[in-house]
Each structure stands twice: as C-alpha cells, then as structure tokens.
Structure 1
C-alpha cells in the first residue's frame, strides 16, 4: 500500500486534538514562554558534545594510554553519541530546537557527523513513523527485516521464538547498519515511493552527501584513532565497536518500548486505505510513555520517555514535555481515550521484552 492512499478518519473524535491544542497553546501563552528550546537546551548541547568529543581528544593527544581506560573512553563516547542523537539532533530534525530554522538545519546535520544521514532519517522518522505509527508496511520502526518480528501482522519465523533473548544484541548493532547499507537502501526505496519530491532534493545529491559524510566519519572516528592513539589496532576496533553498540542499544531501548508493547495497537487500513481513528487518537492507541518521575533519565534521553507528547506535538521542544503531559493526560481521560504509561524505564523494558516474546511465539498476541 502506498503512503498517499492511507487516510485517517476526520470525524472519529476529531475534536480531541483541536481542544488539546487550544489548551497547550493557552499554557504557553499564560506562562509567556516559547515552544522552542531555551538556555537549558544550550547547556545540554554543550554537555553532550563534550561527553562525545572530550574522550576522543584525550585519546588522540596521548593523554590517556592505559588500554582499559581507553576502552572506557570509547564507552563514554557511546553515551555522548546517543545523547547527541536523542537530545540535540532529534529536536533539530523536527524544527523544535530553535525558532531560527537555520540553527535547526545545521544541528540536524549532526546526524551526518555521527555516521548516518539526516535527510534520509527525517523521511523515515518524521514522515513515515510519525504519520503511520505502528502501521505495517509504512512504519519502518517496526520493520527490522526478517531477523525480528515487531508487528503482529508481519510473518512469524521459527527464529523469532527467541527474539526476546537475542533482540537486544540486534538493537546494539543498529548504528552499524547506518554506517553501511541502511541509508542507501532507504534512499532507493524513498525515491521509488516519491517521497523525495516534496523536499526538493535530488537522488544524486543525497547519495553524494551520504557517501561523503560516511567517508569523513570513518576518517575521523576510526582511521585517525588507528593512526594516533597509542594502543594496539585491535583495541581501537574493540573500542569503536563498544561505542556503536552502546549507542545502538540505547536508541533501541528508548524508541522500541514506546510503541512495541502489549498495550500497543497495530491498526490495519481497510481496502480503501482508511484508518478507523483520527490521527491524534491513533497516536494514543499506539504509543506509551515511561519513567515520568525520573528527571535525570528524562533529561538524558531528550524527553523521549514522553513519547505521547512528542508524537502529538513534535514541533514543541522536549524541555516542555513534562509540563504539557499533565494537560495531555487530563484531556485523554476527559475524552475516554487511553494514556499508556509505565512507571519506570525498567517496567517499560520488561513489558517490551514480554511483547517480543509474545510476537515471537504466537501469530496473535494477548495484551
């Protein structure tokens, strides 16, 4: 099914989102604050870049020579890399980091700097995932290929029986796909789907950008350390692997429990491409929050534990999610709509693991 043929209901509780938007707008006006980032975002940006680049510079300059400390520095870079992606690039790609869209544009290119492609990810995430959340064949976040089954409508293979065990390793390998084949496969697919026309980008231009950015990434993130860091080459390769594995695992543990849960719905459009619910209501049925009481955790993951608020208001910076979550929860309850939330991050991971097991062992799953 082509993305242009899918239509959400315009009548099924359509008043929910207009009412909610009015209350959220009133909150910002009453407090005289901007929906964009503030000084806290600037400090966080400095912190995340420092967490990523400080260990890198210390290793290159020979300040750190102990093998185990070097591996520890690579691990810190992994947390820094994931922090940049979750807390800086993500808001910028949604145009929510700054009122100045030029700032958003260049901060979104940070994704190129850490091995992936900003433009391609924007189509996957902003267009497909945010529009068609949990719809099989459209939302690529629930389509990891044959190695895992993240949707009850995907084919179930024998190997999936153990995906709740091996799936965490595959999450850790996620960024290695970005470094190698994923961007190029997606670029070809998005061209065929006609998704590039709306952004006025040429296939050859994006392909060139992807190739150049990956070459530059390998040059500074791997070749330069192999040349300058005073450690055996295999230590550098192990460190590089550790960095990417930590990043991939963190991204998987933040994004997947938000949508692949026992409480999640996976709607199927009818033969005409119509989806039963209004788009905003659809987001409530397919999305889960977690750990709303953990300020430090929420700070580090860019507020993405408030996935419901993020999906309903992707153009609002994440520093505001906690406050507006109170409005969203109350409004959902008023309209008799679900507001799924796990008390802690570990509860969310446990429920996600339970969902992986159900999807791997049953054609249908029981919530």
Structure 2
C-alpha cells in the first residue's frame, strides 16, 4: 500500500503549536529529554526487575501462591520498563546521548521484544499513519478482532467485546514468540516493507532472542521443570500482555477516535498530520499520579504523538499548551478523566465494530 499524503494548510496548526512548545522550553531552560528524573526512575525499575527475577529463580518462596504473584508482578514491572525506559529510549527522548538512548531502547530485548522491529512498527509506521487501516499495524488483529470500520466483519465479532481480554493477555507471548519472527522472515510489517537490516541488526536480533529464551525458558525449566515453568511463565506473560494491550488500545481505539482513510487517486487525507493525530488519539487519567508514573506518560498519548521526541517527563506541562492551541484553532482534543471511562469507551467501540457494517476503504 502506498504512503498516505497529508494536507498542508496555510496557516498551519502544527507550525503554531511547535512554536508554542519551543517557546516553553526556551523560557524554562529545560532540555526536551528526561534528565535525572527519568534516569532515576529507569534505574529503580530495572533494579526491581532484576530483584524480582532473581528472587523467583534463586530464592523461590515456599508458597506456590506467592510465587505466582511474584511472576505476575514481574510481568507488571516488565511492562513498566517498556513504558518508561524502552519507549523513551526508542524515540530518542530519554537522553541527549545517542548511546544512552540505545541502551534504554535495548531494555526491550530483555523482556522479549525486538527493539529493531518495535522501532519500525511503532516509530516509523504507527506514529506517521495512526489509525489508517492497511498501514497502521497496531489496529490489525484480524480475523479475531475488528479494530476499524473498514475491516471485514465476521460473525464471531459480535462477541469480541467479551473475549478481547484473552487476546490482549496473549499479546506479549505472541509478540515475543511469533510476531517478531514473522516480521523478520517476511521483511514486512503488515503490507509495509521494513528497512533493510544490517549485519549488526541480524546478530542483535538473534543474540537477544537467545538471551531472553535462556533467561525465561531454559534457566527456569532447569531449575523447576516444565510444569512449574509453564505456570509461572503464563502468569508473567499474560500479565504483561494484558497491561501493554490495555494501555496502548486506550490511546487510539475508543468511541471518540477517528479512522480516516486516504482518498484516491492521490491517496490523500483531508487533515494535516497534527490534526490527524488529534482526531485519532486520546488521553486518559492525566490527573492520576500513579497511572502517570507507571505508564510513563502514555496516558498523555496526544502530547506523545504530537511530540514523540520530547520525554514523557514534560507531558503534564505541555498538555496545557496543546489544549489551549486546540481551543484557539477549534481542533478536537479527546481526553477521558478516569481510566475506567476510557476502558468503557474501548469496550463500547469494540461492541460498535461488532455491529457496524463494513465501510469502503
């Protein structure tokens, strides 16, 4: 599928918005990266991940119930590392140092995901063409889930707002054992070819996969046997999958977000890129301090999509600037005050997709 083309209006909303954001950083004198705040959070989360893993493997509690709870907690902390460390590192917003950003991005490898494939899927495709069916791989869960009005509807979809929890729970497993390899061997993410991998990229892909499987399969199986490993790993991977899925889906697949499709023959969209991002993206629970801390600012998804190279540490501050600009330019801004409201909207969206007829692409 050819790349979609965005409108270029004059005056441009995005040009004005960038000016206001740049003025904010000039006035405050702050760097756009995370600085010591994100570094201290990263160190805490990585140490916690290591401590939990070491406790489970080498200082295993006598209680099976506690062991399973620790495996679930490991999945929750692994997700937090992804949200707070890997995500900013991959966007180059963790640090001013490219080396530090690369190290932060590579934490993805230790929780099972290929940093290279994530960068292509997320940074290159999803951020550029959000919610465009046929390009944005994040809304492609066919045939099990219908995530856009242009996708084919199957009979089983009338139940998808009930069974989606299962598919979200297996996301991490699917990602680390199937999806990365499918992208690697086909050379594509959906219909989009990935950037040609260098020798270093191939070596890193296989070495890090071997390390992950060694840490999360070989060592636990040797220590405990197949059945205890399976139970513990299921608790870990399903917790991580459920958390990762919910956080990312609440950002784009809710009742109020749009799913624009480019129009032939030039494959153009009616909005400029920034307005497209605002129409296809939603915030949630931005006043909840724990959620803001835990999800690495990904509940400020609007600000993240507009300014992905700005660290999530700054999202609460620039949130006010973006809202004011949207008000001045009469641009839609989508936000849910509470997380349960966003979850309810997502479930409502899935129910809507289960009954709405397919629209022409």
1:249 partnered with 2:242: yes
Partner of 2:205: 210
Q: Which moved more, 1:210-219 or 1:332-341?
A: 210-219
Instruction: Quickly say closer, same or farther: Cα 1:333–1:190, change in 2 above 3 A.
Output: same
Alignment partner of 1:266: what SS? coil
| Structure 2: 5+ residue stretches without partners | none
Q: 1:160 aligns with which of 157, 161, 170?
A: 157
Report the TM-score when normalising by structure 1.
0.93
Partner of 2:7: 9
| Structure 1: 5+ residue stretches without partners | none
| Partner Cα distance (2:251, 2:200) in 1 | 34
Partner of 2:194: 195
| Partner Cα distance (1:50, 1:210) in 2 | 24
| Partner Cα distance (1:286, 1:194) in 2 | 24
Q: 2:214 aligns with which of 209, 213, 219?
A: 219
Deviation of the 1:51 alpha carbon: 2.8
Q: CA RMSD in A?
A: 1.7
Whether the 8 Å CA contact 2:152–2:358 is kept in 1: the answer is no
Instruction: Quickly say closer, same or farther: Cα 1:139–1:193, change in 2 above 3 A.
Output: closer
Whether the 8 Å CA contact 1:71–1:235 is kept in 2: the answer is no
Deviation of the 1:215 alpha carbon: 2.1
Q: 2:147 aligns with which of 144, 150, 155?
A: 150
| Partner Cα distance (2:195, 2:187) in 1 | 10
Report the TM-score when normalising by structure 2.
0.94
Partner of 1:128: 125
Map Cα deviations across residues 261-320 of structure 1 (whole Å, 9 max, x no partner). 111111110111111100001001100001011011111000000000000000000000
Partner of 2:26: 29
Q: Describe how 1:27-66 pairs up with structure 2 within 5 A.
A: 27-62=24-59, 64-66=61-63
Alignment partner of 2:283: what SS? strand
Whether the 8 Å CA contact 1:67–1:235 is kept in 2: the answer is no
| Partner Cα distance (1:135, 1:119) in 2 | 22
Q: Which moved more, 1:217-226 or 1:58-67?
A: 58-67
Map Cα deviations across residues 75-116 of structure 1 (whole Å, 9 max, x no partner). 110111000001110000000000001111121111111111
Q: 2:99 aligns with which of 91, 102, 111?
A: 102
1:283 partnered with 2:277: yes
Partner of 2:329: 335
Partner of 2:354: 360
Partner of 2:72: 75
Whether the 8 Å CA contact 1:134–1:265 is kept in 2: the answer is yes
Map Cα deviations across residues 243-278 of structure 1 (whole Å, 9 max, x no partner). 111111111111111111111111110111111100
| Partner Cα distance (1:89, 1:145) in 2 | 27
Alignment partner of 2:127: what SS? helix
Q: How many residues align?
A: 356
| Partner Cα distance (1:253, 1:315) in 2 | 23
Deviation of the 1:207 alpha carbon: 4.4
Alignment partner of 1:180: what SS? helix
Deviation of the 1:336 alpha carbon: 0.3
| Partner Cα distance (1:363, 1:51) in 2 | 47
